[in-house]
Structure 1
Amino acid sequence: MQELTFAGTPGIIVLVAYALMMLGIGFWVSYSRPGVREDMQSYYLAGRHLGVVVLFFTLYATQYSGNNIVGYAPAAYRIGFAWWQSVMFMTIIIAGYMLFAPRLNNIARRQQFLTPTDWLRYRFESPAIALLAALLMLWGLGNYLLEQLVAMGHGISGLTGGTVPYQIAMLGFVIVMLAYSWMGGMRAVAFTDVMQGIALLVGVAVLVVGGLYLVGGHLGDAFTYVVKEQPEKAAVPALQGSISWISILVLVGIGAAVYPHAIQRIYAAEDTRTLRRSLARMAWMPLITTAVIFVVGIIGIQLYPGLSDVQSEQLVGRIANDVAAINPFFYVMMILLFGGVVAAIVSTADSVLLSFSSIISNDIYRRHIRPDADEQRALKVGKLCGLVAVGGLLILAWNPPTLLVNIFILKFELLIQIAPAFIIGLYWKRMHSRPVFCGMLIGALLAGGMALTGFGKVYGVHAGVIGLVVNTAIAVIGSLLMPADDRRVDFAEARH
């Protein structure tokens, strides 16, 4: 992130304020609900009592991180109009939710599911499927958490103008994150999501207004400039580029919808009607957030032509500096924006960590190591394992070796392989456990092997999508070839 000329002491003050608010939320939840740390349903799912507003903001925080703000605008700067795909794949994620979320919420409430694999265990009665899915989820969550830790360090260091070094910044906010999430569980995480969501929405709106002011107040002029001065950024993509576009819509649209921390928010909804209302509001957020960030990137093409790829990564910081110089109001709002970006990164990290810990405590420890363990002991084990995982990821993020980072890029490619079991399994009674397991395993090995050996795309199609196609074909055709299996699942209870 660009070091900001308005950073330094004001940035430190804002960060301290955000940190105190997060800790205050954690303390308030812990004080008002003293049993939150003893009951797994309360700690990991907020007792299934998230209302429309809080559920909306926590879903928003799950889908949008501070990385979206500082990363998507530079992508629009480099790619041009073709980056409108970011708005589309963020919209597809909502469609992905709607494929299964209301139906899954109905079953989850009846069966008291805690983690995403509880549905798979209930649906297929297969410990092998549940364990494989848990491992794929843990890999995806570990990858996502590593990304957020690195972004956290860079974001705080940039906001403070380098006053707080990258490593110290990362370590300090990790401690804050652990403290409030340990005190209040998902309820504390959800309320911090409300805070950072409001900060991001307001900050991004002010950023684009300031950017438009810098280019003369007319967005059409910025678009005309791109068409006239850099026509390659307004050109129709080549065939392979269009195929890649469709591929990433599938990869991100489905992959992000089956993120474990997203599924647990589906479980935590107060009821199916609440979930539907929250998702209906989420459908507007790609236009309100991602499209606005896209506009910021297009404005940047006119403001700072000729930036290299490395320089373009600092685009949001450059624009924020110039917007802050307009008048004191914009100065204050840009400080709050970047504080909100950092808070958004922390908020995403805490959601991921909470989901990671729940899978360890419920799906690994209680299912395979100590089936007789009570909930309090399982909670402690999940928290401690989460702490160990954060420690290991901090070591990687401190000075990450390139090879290890390349290995950790496998996120959607592997995670999306659980989608057939989750989505098709909700609607098709005949889906059989053995071909589902084989498809999930082969799809994951194929996608992971292709990505790690340099075949991340084939004619524009991502390795994860190729793995998903093979995975789905094995699961569906294999189920058709298997004898009908009388599953105990009552599909009638899933009506919504």
Structure 2
Amino acid sequence: MENYMIFIILMAVYLLGLIAIGVYFSKKQKSVTDFWLAGRKVSSLAIGFSAASSWMTAGGILAVIGLYMLLGMGSVWEFVAPNILALLLIAVLVGKIKHLPAITQPELLEQRYSSAIRAPVAIIIAIVMVLFAVADITGFSLVLSIFFGLDPIYAAAIVAIAISLYVTLGGFSAVIWTDMVQFLLLATFSIITAVVVVNAATSGVGDTAAISTSELFGSVPADWWDVFNFGLPAGDPAIFGIFAAIVFLIAIIPGWVTEQDPWQRVWAAKDQKSARIGMVLGSFFIFLIFGVVCTVIAVSLNHIYPEIPASMAEIGMGAMAQAEPALLVFIAETLTPLGIGLAGVGLAAAAMSSADTFATSGGSCLSRDIYQRYIKPDATMKEMMAVNRISVLIIIAAATVLSFYIQGIIEAIHIATFIASASYFFPLMGGLYWKRATKEGALAGLVVGALAQISFTVIDYSSTPLLAMGSLSAISPLLANHGVIIGMFLSGIAFFGVSLATQPSDTVHLAPFFNDEAEKLAEEEFTIEESDPQYRKLIGSLEREVTGDRAIFKLNLEASATVNWDRFVDELKTLHPSWVTPTGVNSVYRLTKGDMLACVSLSRGNTEKEIWFASEPMAEDVETHVKEFFSAFKQVSQALENIGVLLTLPTPEEA
């Protein structure tokens, strides 16, 4: 009871700090970009901390240590190496990703193809995020169970309540900054824990004799350090280990490279350089904790609990049931009540640093890509924040239910990754780099890949004994990992085949992604008199800020009466065909150039009277863009006047 009370007090203080961060950033939100992408102002260091933190879950740490204990360094291909390589690959792709005009991947795919693909992708991403969150809740459940004897439902309750408060208050800014706090707390916990475990192992515990640190690491068998050793019987050729590593990389990396949450971090970065450096830093931080610190802990725990690696020979991967919680058992048996409480908070930080990312990404698919796109396109920001809070809770609730059915932390992560790899890798990456990709091909690749992979997973899961080798793997190595390679192959065949058999996409859908298509969009001519009083008012009211290679323009105005959004958008598009709604009426663009980020966009504000203008031109175009912004304002004012509503600029004193 003493341990639990200390934990509760420390946890309450920690959560109050996170909520304070959420409240602080809630006061800075003046656009949808502020809420979902932290205003695109995040530095490289913050990106690095957040990118690493999103994968350093409580469950991930326990699972990595458990795999090291049983399989040695050959297990890096199951989680650690793909994680590092995926972030490095995203760093390479930053130049293509950064300037894409979207807040979520489903929105991006609608811009590239059509509205037909947005809902299916949103649903699949939400499912994938739920499965990732399962690993967080499962890992945190182990912590609360071993430390305090609590049921798993308490883990979900703590994670859900905390995340729903600070994320829905402060949006993605809160996610980024709390991730930084959580990473620093987690890194400190991990390093201190490694020192304590090494000290215990070298001091001699139980029946083990005291040894030096050099003896501890020198006693590890040579094959334990072999990155291509998968715990195979002696004499198996190394070529099989290399083949198995390649299979893991093909199965996992596509799903992680196309995962929505690292893309959101790229979009949130203040410029391309910050995004690239941030991803590289994130991969280094992951290597530091998963590659170095967890290795030290695993070697020490194997010395303290030699019966755990020995059990591998008798029960195979069933030994993971002992290996995953080994660190927690050590902490519970060794540390003081204060130490256990601090460890509990450190592992809670690990769980929340990832769960908030997955809940935010999955919740944005439900709120923005489903609710706002199809159910209520004219929803205000205030309504969207409420819906987003509910969406976050739905993701956590679904993850809680599934955590009772999916045994094993790594298994939950792998299932989610394989579904992502097989379903939307080709539609997403193919759409960015292959002009001939069509909406029919994208939808075919998505549906075929998702159905195939979910079917393979269900078959493998239902016909395989608990923690045994998958039944599909026994048929052929190509069917390993729940048949994901075959699932990806089928998705690719459907994507490329159907795309070539159907009509190419039109210029509006291609322009944001391919420069030669963007050049076909003629600039709209407009003439502005700088002596115009309204123009002078606009200069005084317009918020302008240069961040990196882009400038951020914002103008939040309130109309004279409630705006019938659908009627207003129809009138605006009729008067001025340059205004388009490529992703639904909730986001309206003045499409006068291929760079959609630089185009003036409209969205509904906090109330039904507010209209939010925004655009992100290149920094060198700031002065000329003011005139284009004013031209957009005049066109909007004209459309509103035609439906009986006035929109005026405030005086400098009012602004």
TM-score range, shorter chain: 0.7 to 0.9
1:435-457 deviations in Å (ceiling 9; x for gaps): 22212211111111111112554
**1:4-23 → structure 2 map (5 Å cutoff):** 7-23=3-19
State the Cα distance separating 1:275 from its structure 2 match.
Answer: 0.2
2:39 aligned residue: 47
Aligned to 1:298: 299
Residues 1:312 and 2:332 are matched in the alignment: no
Where in structure 2 are the equivalents of 1:255-294 lying within 5 Å?
A: 255-292=255-292, 293-294=294-295
Distance 1:158 1:24, change over 3 A: farther
1:473 match: 493
CA displacement at 1:478 relative to structure 2: 3.9
Match status 1:243 vs 2:243: yes
Write the distance in 2 (CA, Å) between the matches of 1:434 and 1:211: 56
8 Å CA contact 1:40, 1:379 repeated in 2:
no
How much does 1:9 deviate? 4.3
Shift of 1:17: 2.8
SS of residue paired to 1:372: coil
- Tell me what 2:528 maps to: none
CA contact (8 A) 1:134 1:359 kept: yes
Partner of 2:138: 150
CA shift for structure 1 position 396? 5.2
Deviations along 1:195-247, one digit per CA (max 9) or x if unpaired, are: 11011222222233333332345357435333499999586866665433322
Q: Deviations over 1:407-447 (max 9, x none)?
A: 99741222122112222322222222222221221111111
Instruction: Tell me which of the two structures has the higher relative contact order, counting C-alpha pairs closer than 8 angstroms and 6 or more residues apart.
Output: 1
Secondary structure of the structure 2 residue equivalent to 1:78: helix
Q: Give the aligned partner of residue 184 of structure 1.
A: 170
Counterpart position of 1:197: 183
Separation in structure 2 between the aligned mates of residue 26 and residue 275 of structure 1, nearest angstrom: 23
Deviation of 1:383 (Å): 2.5
Equivalent in the alignment of 2:154: 168
Q: In structure 2, which of residues 459, 465, 477 is the aligned counterpart of residue 459 of structure 1? A: 477
CA–CA distance in 2 between the matches of 1:6 and 1:217?
Answer: 35
Query: Quick one: which amino acid aligns to residue 83 of structure 1?
Result: S
Instruction: Supply the distance in 1 between the matched residues of 2:157 and 2:54 (Cα, whole angstroms).
Output: 22
Bigger Cα displacement from structure 2, 12-21 vs 283-292: 12-21
Match of 1:101 among 94, 107, 114: 94
Judging changes above 3 Å, is the alpha-carbon distance between structure 1 residues 456 and 192 closer, same or farther for their aligned structure 2 residues? farther
Structure 1 residue 137 and structure 2 residue 130: aligned? no
Segment drifting more, 224-233 vs 481-490 = 224-233
Name 2:197's counterpart in structure 1: 211
CA distance 1:206–1:392, shift in 2 (3 Å) = closer
Contact 1:212/1:218 (<8 A) preserved = yes
SS of the residue 1:57 aligns to:
helix
- Give the match for residue 373 of structure 2: 367
Shift of the alpha carbon at 1:73? 0.4
* Rg larger in structure: 2
Contact preservation (8 Å) 2:48, 2:280? no
* Stretches of structure 2 lacking an aligned partner (at least 5 in a row): 203-210, 312-318, 461-470, 516-593, 596-617, 619-655
Instruction: Check the 8 A contact 1:226/1:301 in 2, yes or no.
Output: no
Establish whether residue 254 from structure 1 lines up as the match of residue 254 from structure 2.
yes
- Corresponding position of 2:605: none
Residue 123 of structure 1 is aligned with which of 81, 87, 112? 112
Aligned residue type for 2:7? G
Q: Which of the two has greater helix per residue?
A: 1
**CA–CA separation in structure 2 for the residues paired with 1:228 and 1:139:** 38
2:578: which partner in 1? Answer: none
- Number of residue pairs the alignment of both structures matches: 473
Q: 1:288 offset after TM fit, Å?
A: 0.4
Q: Which 5+ residue runs of structure 1 have no aligned equivalent?
A: 326-330
CA distance in 1, matches of 2:224, 2:139: 33
Q: Is the 8 A contact 1:44 1:355 kept in 2?
A: no
Distance 1:212 1:193 in 2: 28
Q: Distance in 1 between matches of 2:296 and 2:146?
A: 23
For residues 146 and 132 of structure 1, do their structure 2 counterparts lie closer, same or farther at Cα, with a shift above 3 Å needed? same
Letter in 2 for 1:371: P
Given that residues 207 and 334 in structure 1 are in contact (C-alpha distance below 8 angstroms), is that contact kept between their aligned partners in structure 2? no
Q: Which amino acid aligns with 1:431?
A: A
CA gap of 1:414–1:456, structure 2 versus 1, over 3 A, is farther
- Aligned partners of 2:263 and 2:435: how far apart in 1? 21
Q: Note the alpha carbon deviations across 1:13-45, whole angstroms, 9 max, x for none.
A: 432332222222223323x42xx3x74322221
| 1:226 and 2:221 aligned | yes
2:122 & 2:386 partners in 1: Cα distance? 19
Pick closer, same or farther for the CA change 1:444–1:207 going to 2, 3 Å: same
Alpha-carbon RMSD across the aligned residues, in angstroms, is: 3.4
Once residues 299 and 131 of structure 1 are traced to their aligned partners in structure 2, the CA distance between those partners, rounded to angstroms, is 48
Cα distance in 2, alignment partners of residues 7 and 115 from structure 1:
42
Residue 348 of structure 1 pairs with residue 343 of structure 2: no
Q: Which amino acid aligns with 1:92?
A: L
Aligned equivalent of 2:567:
none
Please tell me the residue identity of whatever aligns with 2:417. Answer: F
CA 233–456 in structure 1, closer or farther in 2 if over 3 Å, else same: closer
2:609 alignment counterpart: none
Pairing of 1:424-435 with structure 2 (within 5 A):
424-435=430-441
Contact preservation (8 Å) 2:156, 2:396: no
Cα offsets for 1:226-269 (capped at 9, x unmatched): 34999995868666654333222223222123222222222211
SS in 2 for 1:225: coil
Whole-Å separation in 2 of the counterparts to 1:54 and 1:441: 36
Rounded Cα–Cα distance in structure 2 between residues aligned with 1:157 and 1:22: 24
Per the alignment, in what secondary structure is the counterpart of residue 423 of structure 1?
Answer: helix
Q: Which amino acid aligns with 1:11?
A: F
Q: Please state whether the residue corresponding to 2:437 is helix, strand or coil.
A: coil
CA distance in 2, matches of 1:232, 1:134: 36
Distance 1:17 1:382, change over 3 A: closer
Q: For 1:392-407, what aligned pairs fall within 5 Å after superposition?
A: 392-395=398-401, 397=403, 400-401=404-405
More deviation in 215-224 or 166-175? 215-224
TM-score normalised according to structure 2 size: 0.65
**Which string of whole-angstrom CA distances, capped at 9 and with x for unpartnered residues, describes residues 72-123 of structure 1?**
101111112311324322222123313533311112xxx3x12111211112
Instruction: Provide the secondary structure at the position in 1 that maps to 2:220.
Output: helix
Report the Cα offset of residue 12 of structure 1: 3.5
Identity level (%): 19
Q: Could you say if the C-alpha distance between residues 232 and 363 of structure 1 is closer, same or farther in structure 2, counting changes exceeding 3 Å?
A: closer
Where 2:275 maps in the other structure, the secondary structure is helix
Look up the match of 1:328.
none
- Hey, what's the Cα distance between the residues in 1 that align with 2:125 and 2:160? 21
